[in-house]
Structure formats: structure tokens, C-alpha cells
Amino acid sequence: MTSLPLRLSLVLVAVLFVASPSIAEADSAMEARRSMLDRPGSLVIAGGSGLGDEIFGAFRDLAGFGPASVVVIPTASDRADREDYDQTLIRQWRARGFEWVTVLHTRDREEADTEAFASAIARTDAVWFGGGQQSRLAQSYLGTKVEAELHKLLERGGVVGGSSAGAAIQSGVMITGGNPEARVGEGIDLLRGCVVDQHFSERNRQPRLRGVIEARPGLLGIGIDERTALVVRVRDGRVVGEVVGAAGVHLMLADGSGEVRETSLDPGDRLDVVAGERIEAAAPASAD
């Protein structure tokens, strides 16, 4: 007959055995976010629909002072296959302050994996992913030289941005569709240790993001409303996200026990991306 203390010890070991994978996943996701401290580049992650000058202005500023270049990738949209669409995009992005605009598009993974195709990213200051269907972006570029050059761009201090599908592709765990239960695929993992959802409040996507987060403790869920962006960059030794635009950004983070903490941020609010917490504004200095 097993003694009571021994049975309690066995139960404790069993509980720790079950719990430890979740704890390990949470630690791994946080370490992934922390690794962005070693990368000087920035991200602009927009929720779609009617982005204002404030968002495009922030993106342009992050491309650097003086004349700047941008590579625009419209592959998520079926309009990208139209012969006249390149000129439309070039006009739009010149009006947003970029002197040199290159439109990069293919649906052929083999072409995307050539140095000749990806070299435009090696020479640019900024890359922007347009909206549409994020699965099209993954099908064309995941695991190719295009993906490799995007990571190199961030390592040399450039900026990558995108709206709607162009936001979703930036996380490693990528929501491809479904609501209230999400379908999940693989993204380019520029925003490490996170998962992005867009058109968030407008399309009631809270249930599907919560489901993804509950299944992956430690992953930081970032839901971005339309006409809004999260600008992510390294500042003062932290990976900081700042809300820019007209609406909100909504955070979900599950700890090792599976409990989900939710936080909503307004325009002007800032986020410590590693911790998944709001950065509280410093209290004004009191007068002497």
C-alpha cells in the first residue's frame, strides 16, 4: 500500500509534468520577443481600411531622413495581377514621400527564391505589404530569398510595414481565416513571439484571437482596429509599440495556467512588447 506522503509526491510530479510544457512555451515566446532587442529595424503593423497620413507619415519617417526608397509588395491582392496596377502604386507611394518606388510581385515561389528577384529588397530602405489574403503572401514568399532579405532589412535598421493581410503575415503564427475558431498557418515571423489579427473590433475577431492565445501560452496576441497601426521599434533598451491612428490596439496574453489577460490601448499609448504590458506615462514633475 502506497503511503499518503508518497501519493502526494506522485500527484505533484504529475502536475508539474503536465504544466511544464505550457510554462516552457510561455518562456520561449517571451525570449523570442526579447530577441528583437538585438535588431535595429522597425515595424508598422496596420489594421486595414482607410489608413491616414499619420500612419504613412510614421512609416516614411522610419525609412530615414533625406531621399528614401520603398518596395511595395501587393501580392495579397488579386489586383496585383493587373498590368496597370504597378503605375497606380508608384503614384500613390511617391505622393507619400518616397523618391524611388519598386513594385515587387510574383505568384511563383521559384522566382521569389532567386537573388535577381529579391535584390530589390537588399537595396531598399523600406518594404510595405498591401492588403488582401495573407495566405497568398505565405504561398509566394515563405522560405524564399524574399523572406531572408526582409529579415536582413530589419537587421540593418530598415522598416517593414503592412496593412490587413500585410499585418497578419508579419507574425510567425499567422491567422489565415475563420471566426470564432481561427485557422492558423505560418507567417514570416518579423514580429517574434506574437500573433497579429486585424480589422479587429469591426469584425468581432476577439473570439478567434483568444482561442489562438489559449492554445499557445506566452504568445502575445495583438488585435489592431481599422485605421490604426502599432509602430514597433527598439527605444531606451525596450521593444516598444506605439499606437498610431484613429482607434485601438487590443492585447491578449495567457500565462502558464491558461488565464488570459486582456489590455486595450488608445492612440498615443505605448506597449512593452516583451512583457506584453502597457507602458504607463511618467507622472508630471511637481512644482517646487
105 is catalytic: no
For the record, the C-alpha cell of 252 comes out as 491578449
Nearest CA among 84, 150, 73 for reference residue 107: 73
Q: How far is CA 254 from CA 16, 61, 189, in A?
A: 18, 34, 20
Backbone phi, psi, residue 251, to 5°: -110, 145
The widest CA-to-CA distance across the chain, in whole angstroms, is 81
Q: Select which of 69, 149, 171, 199 is catalytic.
A: 199
Distance CA 11, CA 31 (A): 30
Instruction: Count CA atoms closer than 13 A to 159's CA, side-chain side.
Output: 26
Distance CA 241, CA 35 (A): 15
Q: Select which of 31, 99, 155, 181 is catalytic.
A: 181
115 is catalytic: no
What's the one-letter identity of residue 27? D
Helices 115-122, 145-155: crossing angle, 10 deg rounding: 20
164 is catalytic: yes
Instruction: Return the bridge partners of 72, or none.
Output: 103, 128
Output the CA torsion sign for 115, 113, 129, 25: negative
Q: What letter would DSSP give residue 34?
A: H
Distance CA 160, CA 153 (A): 8
Q: Select which of 140, 163, 164, 171 is catalytic.
A: 164
Distance CA 248, CA 169 (A): 20
Residues involved in catalysis: 164, 181, 199
